[in-house]
Structure 1
Amino acid sequence: MNKDIIAKKEAAVDEAAEILKNAKSVIIVDYLGLTVAEVTEMRAELRQSEASMQVIKNSILKRAAEKAGFDGLEDKFLGPTAIVYSNEDPVAPAKIADKYANEVEAMEIKGGMIEGKVSELADIQALAKLPSRDGLLSMLVSVLQAPVRNVAYAVKAVADSKDEPAA
C-alpha cells in the first residue's frame, strides 16, 4: 500500500479517536434509508444543540475506539454507520438521535458511549427522556426557592393575622 494512503488512514483514525475521547456522548446510528432532507434537518438541529453528526468508515471507527481505549463498541460498527456526538452536552445527541429514530423508520440507534462509558440502547433512550440541562437547572432553582417562598408566605400570613381586628 502507498505510504501516503497509510498516512491518511492513520490521520483519520487519530481524528476519530480524538472525537471519541473528547465527546461527552457518542451515539452510533444506522442512517441507511434517511433522505437527504431528513439528514439535513437532523444536522441543523444538532448544530443548534452544539452537536455534530459524521459518517466515518467502520474500519476507521473500530481502530479509533481501540486507540481511545473504548472496548465493547466494535460490534456496533457494522453496516452504514454514523456517529452523533457533542463535546458540550451529553443529553443533546441522545435526544435528537432518539427523536429521529422514533420519527423515521429508516434510522436505528445501535448503541454508544456516555461520559466515557459504553452504553446500550436502553441507556441512551433513558438519557433521551431526561429534561435538557436548562430544564434541570430550572427545576433545581425551583426546589431551592421553595423553602424561602414558604417562609415568606408564613411571615405574610402572621402579619396579615395581626392586622385583622379582634372580634
Structure 2
Amino acid sequence: MDRSQKADSVAYLNGVFSEAGAVIITRNLGLTVAQTTVLRNKIREVGATYKVAKNSLAKLAVAGTDYEGLGDFFTGPTAIAASVDPVAAAKAIVEFAKTTDKIEIVGGSMGTQVLNADGVKALASMPSLDELRGTLIGLIQAPATKLAQLATAPAAKLARVFSAYAEKEAA
C-alpha cells in the first residue's frame, strides 16, 4: 500500500466508526474463503459491514471517535464488523461463531462502552431494533383491541341473558 491508499483506508474506517452503533472485533484463526464469504453474506443481510483492516491503520482510524477504547484489541489477524443497529452485527458474528471454531470474538464497543467477548455475546442475545419496534407496535395496538372487545362485550352479554330468559319462559 502506498501512502495515499493508507490515507484512504484510514478515512474509510474512520467513517465506519463515526456512523456505527456498535463495532465488533474478531480474530481470524484460519477461516477458508468459503467460510469468510458465508460470514460476509450473513453480516451484509443484517445491514452491517465486515472489513479486514491493517491493525496500525485501524488504530489510527479509531483515534478521535467514540471507539478509541478498541485500540488494544487490534493485535493479530483481526477484522471489524460494524452496524448502525447495535445488536445486528453482534448477532450475526455470534451465530457464525457457533458453527466454527476458526473465528474468535475479541471484543467490541457500543459507543464509548467497551465490551469484552462475553459482553458481545450478551449484546447478541438482546432483541434487535426491528424486533423492539415490532414489540412496541404490538403494545400500542393491544389497548385498542381490548377497548373494541370491551365495547362489544356488554351487548353480547345482554343478548345471552335475554335468550336465556326466553328459553326459560318457553319451557
Indicate the TM-score class for this superposition, using the shorter chain for normalisation: 0.7 to 0.9
Match of 2:98 in 1: 102
In the alignment, is the contact (CA less than 8 A) between 2:53 and 2:79 conserved in 1?
Answer: yes
Counterpart of 1:145, as a letter, is Q
Q: Which stretch of the first structure deviates more once superposed, 12-21 or 38-47?
A: 12-21
Residue matched to 1:19: 16
Q: Does residue 158 of structure 2 align to residue 158 of structure 1?
A: no
CA deviation string 1:16-61 (max 9, x = no partner): 2221112122110002221211110111122222211110011111
Corresponding residue for residue 54 of structure 1 = 51
TM-score (norm 2): 0.84
2:86 matched residue in structure 1? 90
Instruction: Please tell me the root mean square deviation across aligned C-alpha atoms, in Å.
Output: 2.0
What SS does the aligned partner of 2:69 have?
coil
Aligned residue pairs, count:
163
* Aligned residue identity for 2:98: N
Superposed displacement of residue 5, structure 1: 3.2
Residue identity opposite 1:142 in structure 2: G
Output the TM-score relative to the length of structure 1. 0.86
What code does the residue aligned with 1:29 have?
Answer: T
Deviates more, 1:6-15 or 1:147-156: 6-15
In percent, how many aligned pairs have the same letter? 36
Equivalence for 2:130: 134
Paired residue for 1:42?
Answer: 39
Post-superposition offset of 1:120: 2.5
- Separation in structure 2 between the aligned mates of residue 134 and residue 69 of structure 1, nearest angstrom: 24
Q: Secondary structure at the match of 2:102?
A: coil
Q: Is the partner of 1:84 in helix, strand or coil?
A: strand
Question: Which runs of 5 or more residues in structure 2 are unaligned?
Answer: 166-171
| Aligned partner of residue 78 in structure 1, secondary structure | coil
Unaligned 5+ segments in structure 1 are none
Partner-residue secondary structure (3-state), 1:72: helix
Q: Which has the larger radius of gyration?
A: 2
Instruction: Report deviation, 1:96.
Output: 0.4
Q: Distance in 1 between matches of 2:131 and 2:30?
A: 33
Check conservation: 1:51, 1:85, Cα contact below 8 A: yes
